[in-house]
């Protein structure tokens, strides 16, 4: 099947995967997995662009702004996943990182017909964005009207806008202030951007949100010191963190965590600075929550 030069890059046909349906299952699985390797390379190629976006997002969040993701279909679901994981991983308020998906919550579990084409809904979603916010729009083709309209509206309102796309040119990249181009090309299954393009978008979102949290002092060394211990596994992790950073035994770590209402940071500062929980909290506030500055 010949490629159509008028198609978006992500809609093309990969000639190397011709005959996909005739492969034996092991070979089929190998081809599909092997096809994901390009996703990592596509993200790495945009390291500098991603770093610049991280710096600006961190600056805005440090001054009271919020981070919004806007997407449709696979992109919207990936964005929702990343946003949902911020509070338990980094102890953030749910409002700090939010996702907006075409078609609303229902679109998380089933496709909503025509949702990505609804520019009016995208514009309406963006009316909640403030000038100090940062907004990332995701669309493999860069043509999802919901996302384009949301980004254009957000930019007009003074928010910092970034487009994450998997090909160019695109309406989304033209609407945004910055572009992160994840050039993943044609998919193993033509047009199925839930494959390589989706993988690249998830890697990029993971890198952006984690790097932003590092810049905001939510991490000490390579440890999740703002983890919210909501289950047995995470409570055990919090205990290990206090033991390691404060250099105390398990019994002492448990007592510190109890006094610190479960906060690893407060527990560590209490031990390392020989202060009570109230003073530890004050010290952390004084240093913008950055544990390294106190140790």
pLDDT recorded at residue 21? 92
**Per-residue pLDDT, 15:** 86
d(CA 111, CA 106) in angstroms, rounded, equals: 8
pLDDT at 53 (0 to 100): 98
First to last CA, the chain: 62
What DSSP designation does 7 have?
S
Instruction: Verify whether residue 6 is a known catalytic residue.
Output: no
Write out the two tokens for 174: 């033209």
Residue 229 is classified by DSSP as -
Q: Which residues pair with 139 in a beta bridge?
A: 165
pLDDT tens for the chain, 295 residues long, are: 444 456 678 888 888 898 999 999 999 999 999 999 999 999 999 999 999 999 999 999 999 999 999 999 999 999 999 999 999 999 999 999 999 999 999 999 998 888 999 999 999 999 999 999 999 999 999 999 999 999 999 999 999 999 999 999 999 999 999 999 999 988 989 988 999 999 999 999 999 999 999 999 999 999 999 988 889 999 999 999 999 999 999 999 999 999 999 999 999 999 999 999 999 999 999 999 999 999 8
DSSP per position, 64-130: T--EEEEE-HHHHHHHHHHHHTHHHHH---TTTEEEEETT-GGGGTS--TTGGG-HHHHHHHHTT--
- For the record, the structure tokens of 294 come out as 């106190």
pLDDT of residue 6: 63
Q: Choosing from 24, 55, 95, 116, which is the catalytic residue?
A: 116
Listed in order, strand segments (DSSP E) in the chain are 67-71, 97-101, 134-139, 160-165, 178-181
In whole angstroms, give the CA distance from residue 97 to residue 89.
Answer: 12
Name every residue whose Cβ is closer than 8 Å to that of residue 170 and which is 6 or more positions away in sequence: 8, 139, 141, 142, 143, 163
Residue 116 known to be catalytic: yes
Residues contacting residue 55 through CB under 8 Å, at least 6 positions apart: 215
Catalytic residue among 85, 130, 177, 279: 85
The pLDDT value recorded for residue 1 is 41
Q: Which domains does the chain have, with CATH numbers?
A: 38-215 (3.40.50.10490), 232-294 (1.10.8.1080)
Give Cα separations from 68 to 59, 82, 136, 206 (angstroms).
15, 11, 6, 14
């Amino acid at each position: 099947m010949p490629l159509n030069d008028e198609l978006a890059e992500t809609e093309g046909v990969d000639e190397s995967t011709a005959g996909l349906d005739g492969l034996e299952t092991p070979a089929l699985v190998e081809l599909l997995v092997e096809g994901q390797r390009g996703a990592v390379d596509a993200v790495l190629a945009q390291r500098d662009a991603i770093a610049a976006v991280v710096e600006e997002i961190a600056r805005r969040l440090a001054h009271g702004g919020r981070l919004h993701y806007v997407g449709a279909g696979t992109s919207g679901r990936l964005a929702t996943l990343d946003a949902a994981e911020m509070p338990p991983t980094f102890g953030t308020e749910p409002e700090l990182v939010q996702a907006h998906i075409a078609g609303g919550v229902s679109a998380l579990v089933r496709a909503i017909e025509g949702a990505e084409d609804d520019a009016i809904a995208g514009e309406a979603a963006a009316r909640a964005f403030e000038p100090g916010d940062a907004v990332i729009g995701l669309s493999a083709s860069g043509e999802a009207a919901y996302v384009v309209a949301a980004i254009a509206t957000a930019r007009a309102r003074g928010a910092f806008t970034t487009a994450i796309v998997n090909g160019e040119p695109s309406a989304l990249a033209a609407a945004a202030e910055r572009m992160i181009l994840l050039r993943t090309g044609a998919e193993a299954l033509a047009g199925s951007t839930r494959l390589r393009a989706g993988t690249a978008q998830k890697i990029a979102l993971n890198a952006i949100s984690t790097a932003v949290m590092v810049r905001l002092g939510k991490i000490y060394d390579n440890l999740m010191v703002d983890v919210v211990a909501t289950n047995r596994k995470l409570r055990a992790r919090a205990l290990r963190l206090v033991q390691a950073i404060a250099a105390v035994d398990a019994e002492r770590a448990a007592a510190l965590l109890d006094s610190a209402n479960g906060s690893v940071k407060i527990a560590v500062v209490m031990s390392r600075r020989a202060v009570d929980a109230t003073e530890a909290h004050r010290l952390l506030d004084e240093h913008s929550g950055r544990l390294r500055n106190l140790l």
